Structure 1
Amino acid sequence: MTTEHDELLRMLDDQRRVFRIAMRDLSEADARKRTTVSELTLGGLLKHLVQGERAYTHIITGRPGTPDGMLDTGQYVWEGGSFEELLSSYTEAARATDEAVRAASLDALVAMPSAPWDPNPEPWPVRRIVLHVLRETAQHSGHADIIREALDGASTTDQLFS
């Protein structure tokens, strides 16, 4: 029998898989390259998703304080570290998110940290956090696909089943 946890995490993992397709066979230089008028790069998007998964795991597990990187004004800028390490960090962050979600009630309300855009936030149910991470991942998968296609013509859609 499939639970709601399983279904939500299955959809999130599928979207992570789609996002990772845009990262296939990238060099360090390509991961840092801007290919559109946007400041976004593939490495920067990956860094942002790593920070997001880590931040929401921090929140779901009830750790105090604002999660590292949550208020980072350079959240889409990736400058240090290797691309392979960043990819590994994404895998680890996703695993930690999945573990935290499986251990929580989806209806549990968790305190959200204060932020400039919401200084007095209401608590969120864990379910909303999972859906938010899913939406963020999907949105940035689309960005990644456009950036990658402009970089070298590779299309996520063409690679989905390869």
Structure 2
Amino acid sequence: MTGTTDLQAETTAPALTGERADLLEQLGKSRFFLRFTANELTDGQAGHRSTVSGLTVGGLIKHVASVEKVWVDFILGGPSAMPDFSAMTEEDFAARENEFRLLEDETLEGVLAAYAEVAARTDALVATVDLDAAHPLPKAPWFDQDAKWSARRVFLHVIAETSQHAGHADIVREAIDGAKSMG
């Protein structure tokens, strides 16, 4: 008869090491700081513009989740998973602004739950994808023409984006109630 510990050993995946572990650790730290800025906020506070920018804590979390999801879609499906940014209209860009704010039907709890789902999907991909697999970038004025990014490069970009927006969220949060998450 198989004991409980033997069964657990058979079904537990080995711990990641090396580059994959490093990517997951840094992404986890960046996500922690972003989520921590929302600690104990109400929905109203999470949706409050506390600086001259249009950024809110809840909106930043929502935006980072959206960006991370799109980049994972890119890793899995190539440039067709992303819009042709060079063809976007002013209306398209205005609609994207809703990524940076909590809308009336959204809650901080819902945004955090959606982010957790996106994060779990990304983490599973970091553990399994060929990090050297690359796709050409979609058309956009901010990308070099004919550039290709590997899965590794995309994960590094997601880490940088998450870290940058965690800093933004920290400033927004401090202006709400003086709380600081990173200092």
TM-score by length of 2: 0.77
The match for 1:137 among 142, 151, 162 is: 162
Give distance in 1, aligned partners of 2:50 and 2:155.
Answer: 30
Question: Is residue 103 of structure 1 aligned with residue 128 of structure 2?
Answer: yes
1:47 to 34, 47, 62: 62
Answer whether contact 2:78 2:135 (CA < 8 A) is retained. no
Contact 1:112/1:123 (CA < 8 Å) preserved in 2? yes
Letter matched to residue 132 of structure 2: D
Instruction: Indicate the structure with greater helix content.
Output: 2
The alignment's C-alpha RMSD in Å is 2.1
Change (3 A) 1:42 1:128: same
Matched residue SS, 1:131 = helix
Q: Structure 2: how far apart are the matches of 1:25 and 1:67?
A: 34
Quote the residue 2:52 is aligned against.
Answer: 37
Cα shift at 1:105: 1.6
Does the CA contact (< 8 Å) of 2:23 and 2:126 recur in 1?
no
**Structure 1 counterpart of 2:26, from 11, 33, 52:** 11
Structure 1 residue aligned with 2:117: 92
Out of 24, 42, 45, the residue aligned to residue 27 of structure 1 is: 42
C-alpha spacing 1:121/1:41, structure 2 compared with 1 (3 Å): farther
The percent identity for this pair of structures is 39
CA distance in 1, matches of 2:135, 2:79: 11
Query: Aligned in 2, Cα 1:142/1:45: closer, same or farther, shift over 3 Å?
Result: same
1:157 aligns with 2:172: no
Decide whether the 8 Å contact of 2:78 with 2:136 is kept in 1.
no
5+ unaligned residues in a row in structure 1: which ranges?
A: none
Structure 1 residue 77 corresponds to structure 2 residue 101: yes
Q: Where does structure 1 differ by over 2 angstroms across 4 or more consecutive aligned residues?
A: 63-68, 70-73, 110-121
Could you tell me how far apart the structure 2 residues matched to 1:63 and 1:88 are?
A: 26
- Residues 61 and 100, structure 1, Cα contact 8 Å, conserved in 2: no
Counterpart contact for 1:50–1:89, Cα < 8 Å: yes
Q: Which protein is bigger by CA-based radius of gyration?
A: 2
CA contact (8 A) 1:113 1:121 kept: no
